[in-house]
């Protein structure tokens, strides 16, 4: 095949990176730039979209230069991005009308609450698979149209464009030639009908968003245009796009029903592929597009844990455990067996399946002989026990996805710990596959691009390039696992608002 390389652009919340992969999914070179956060008011989070666009060009050039390869060796570019973050820009000048509003931003909470009180959420969920929350893009777009002077009139006159970070970066990289997104990013906007796979006129009307603002929605592996020759000296085809969590799902090879992955960073995102079945959640999990290839959409259930790695940071910052995660883990491993301590790290509320924003954290089961080691161990276990909450909710919502041998594929910072990964297997009762290569998000974007460029002849062939994994089997006796989970289920209601 020669040296067919694939470049992945990973536009994240705190950095923008480019990683060059070979056909077997091995990283060849990478480059990155940090991204500044702006907090103009309480609960507001913004990015400079022009800074993001400039960083994309810089890291693409640097990664190719570092590799020592010819630009002609790079077959395609794949793009993955922080989901839900949105920007509106002038179609003629390419200048944003306002800083990008980041997914974490809460300025539209009241607008969401009003729609909820008006009884709109059930219909919104039926069409989009999502909940009414400022996390998603629609109310952000509406806020920009209503608060930037003249924006709504300019939008209705067809003078403005809107998009998530994939659409913005592609528009800039193609010199304004293409205004496109993919189905996974579209499915995070509250404006996309995940059944018909098109923008929903009903949702556009509900949120007050003109259709002319929005990009064309393509498959995850498709022709998204070309990076202009001014970037690398010759055009580069853009052939794959997916939002970060869906890209990681692909990077972990989760392309069949029942295959699931969890990324343990500051929080945790867990997704299970439900195939062509759009599962309806009784636990208020999100139903989202997992991928769309050859016009066929597949779906996923998604749940989030607000606090995972952040709880390990708390051990250092809040309880004075010095030495970082390695020291925290050593402390946890020194805990007495069967100590009975439970930590519920609801520092910013509880996510799925509890959904209680006003819940607050607590420690239960302290005795005279319990100390920092036991609290540290219970803090690690909280991520595993919250993961089991999500797994049980997914099992109830999508029983058909659990008919085979279930396995949890993991990546992210906490997964680098073999000890935590084993605790995860023990406390969930599922085999855990720990990825040997952590940048599964960028890899997933590269695999979609390789599929779009014809380097792989099928989704299955692309998925075979996923990294090798260390397989961990549950070793804890069933009665001990169930006793630990029972203590957790007793503790959580005690912190509910």
pTM of the complete model beyond 0.85 = yes
With tokens 């994240």, the residue in question is: 12
Helix, strand, coil percent content, the chain, rounded in steps of 5: 40, 25, 40
Pair type for strands 260-264 and 226-227: unpaired
Per-residue pLDDT, 52? 96
280 dihedral zone (left: phi>0; alpha: psi -120 to 50; beta): beta
What pLDDT, in 10s, does the model give residues 2-51? 468 999 999 988 889 999 999 888 999 999 999 888 898 888 889 999 99
Q: What is the mean pLDDT of residues 73-98?
A: 95
Average pLDDT, the chain: 92
Decide if pLDDT at 326 tops 90: no
pLDDT score for 310: 83
Element (H, E) at 236: strand 236-243
Strand partners, 143: none
Q: How many CA atoms lie within 13 A of 348 on its CB side?
A: 14
Tell me the pLDDT tens digit for each residue of 98-117: 999 988 888 898 999 899 99
Q: How many CB atoms lie within 10 A of CB 380?
A: 28
Domain at 5-244: CATH architecture: 2-Layer Sandwich (3.30)
Mean pLDDT, range 415-422, rounded to an integer: 92
Place domain 253-435+467-496 in its CATH homologous superfamily.
ATPase, nucleotide binding domain (3.30.420.40)
Determine contact, residues 311/460, Cβ cutoff 8 Å.
Answer: no
How large is the average pLDDT for residues 238-260? 93
**Residue 382: predicted pLDDT:** 95
Cα–Cα distance measured from residue 444 to residue 440, given in angstroms and rounded to the nearest whole number: 6
Of the candidates 101, 399, 104, the one whose C-alpha atom is nearest the C-alpha of residue 277 is: 399
Mean pLDDT calculated for residue range 70-91? 94
- For residue 191, pLDDT over 80 is answered with yes
Decide if pLDDT at 303 tops 70: yes
Number of Cβ within 10 Å of residue 296's Cβ equals: 11
Start-end of H helices in 226-305: 229-232, 244-251
Domain with CATH 3.30.420.40 in the chain: 5-244, 253-435+467-496
Between 158 and 325, the higher pLDDT residue: 158
Under 8 Å between Cβ of 201 and 239: no
Confidence band for 168, pLDDT divided at 50, 70 and 90: very high
Tell me the C-alpha distance between 272 and 107, whole Å. 30
pLDDT band at 351 (very low <50, low <70, confident <90, very high): confident
Residue 163 predicted with pLDDT over 80: yes
Question: In this model, does residue 57 exceed pLDDT 60?
Answer: yes
């Amino acid at each position: 095949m020669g040296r067919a390389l694939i470049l992945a652009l990973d536009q994240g919340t705190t950095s923008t990176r480019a990683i060059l992969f070979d056909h077997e999914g091995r990283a060849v070179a990478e480059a990155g730039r940090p991204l500044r956060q702006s907090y103009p008011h309480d609960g507001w989070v913004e990015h400079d979209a022009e800074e993001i666009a400039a960083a994309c060009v810089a890291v693409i050039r640097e990664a190719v230069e570092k590799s020592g390869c010819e630009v002609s060796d790079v077959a395609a570019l794949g793009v993955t991005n922080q989901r839900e973050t949105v920007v509106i820009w002038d179609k003629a000048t390419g200048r944003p009308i306002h800083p990008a509003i980041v997914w974490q931003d809460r300025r539209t909470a009241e607008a969401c609450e009003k729609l909820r009180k008006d009884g709109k959420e059930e219909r919104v969920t039926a069409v989009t698979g999502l909940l009414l929350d400022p996390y998603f893009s629609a109310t952000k777009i509406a806020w920009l149209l209503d608060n930037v002077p003249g924006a709504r009139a300019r939008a209705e006159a067809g003078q403005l464009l809107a998009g998530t970070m994939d659409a913005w970066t592609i528009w800039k990289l193609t010199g304004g030639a293409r205004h496109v997104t993919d189905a996974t990013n579209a499915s995070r906007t509250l404006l996309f009908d995940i059944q018909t796979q098109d923008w929903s006129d009903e949702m556009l009307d509900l949120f007050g968003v003109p259709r002319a603002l929005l990009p064309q929605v393509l498959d995850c592996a498709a022709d998204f245009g070309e990076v202009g020759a001014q970037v690398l000296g010759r055009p580069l085809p853009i052939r794959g796009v997916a939002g970060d969590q869906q890209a990681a799902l692909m990077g972990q090879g989760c392309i069949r029903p029942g295959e699931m992955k969890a990324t343990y960073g500051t929080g945790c995102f867990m997704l299970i592929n439900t195939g062509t079945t759009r599962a309806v959640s009784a636990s208020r999990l999100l139903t989202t597009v997992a991928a769309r290839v050859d016009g066929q959409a597949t779906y996923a259930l998604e749940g989030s844990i607000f606090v995972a790695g952040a709880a390990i940071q708390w051990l250092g910052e809040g309880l004075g455990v010095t030495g970082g995660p390695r020291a925290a883990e050593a402390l946890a491993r020194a805990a007495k067996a069967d100590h009975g301590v439970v930590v519920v790290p609801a520092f910013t509320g509880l996510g799925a399946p509890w959904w209680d924003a006003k819940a607050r954290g607590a420690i239960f089961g302290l005795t005279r002989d319990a100390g920092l080691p036991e609290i540290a161990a219970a803090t690690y276990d909280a991520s595993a026990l919250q993961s089991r909450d999500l797994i049980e909710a997914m099992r109830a919502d999508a029983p058909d996805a659990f008919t085979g041998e279930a396995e949890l594929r993991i990546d992210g910072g906490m997964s680098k710990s073999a000890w935590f990964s084993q605790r995860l297997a023990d406390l969930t009762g599922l085999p855990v596959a720990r990825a040997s290569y952590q940048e599964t998000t960028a890899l997933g974007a590269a695999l979609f691009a390789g599929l779009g460029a014809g380097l792989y002849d099928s989704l299955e062939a692309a998925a075979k390039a996923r990294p090798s994994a260390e397989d961990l089997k549950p070793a804890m006796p069933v009665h001990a696992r169930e006793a630990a989970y029972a203590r957790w289920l007793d503790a959580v209601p005690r912190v509910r608002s």
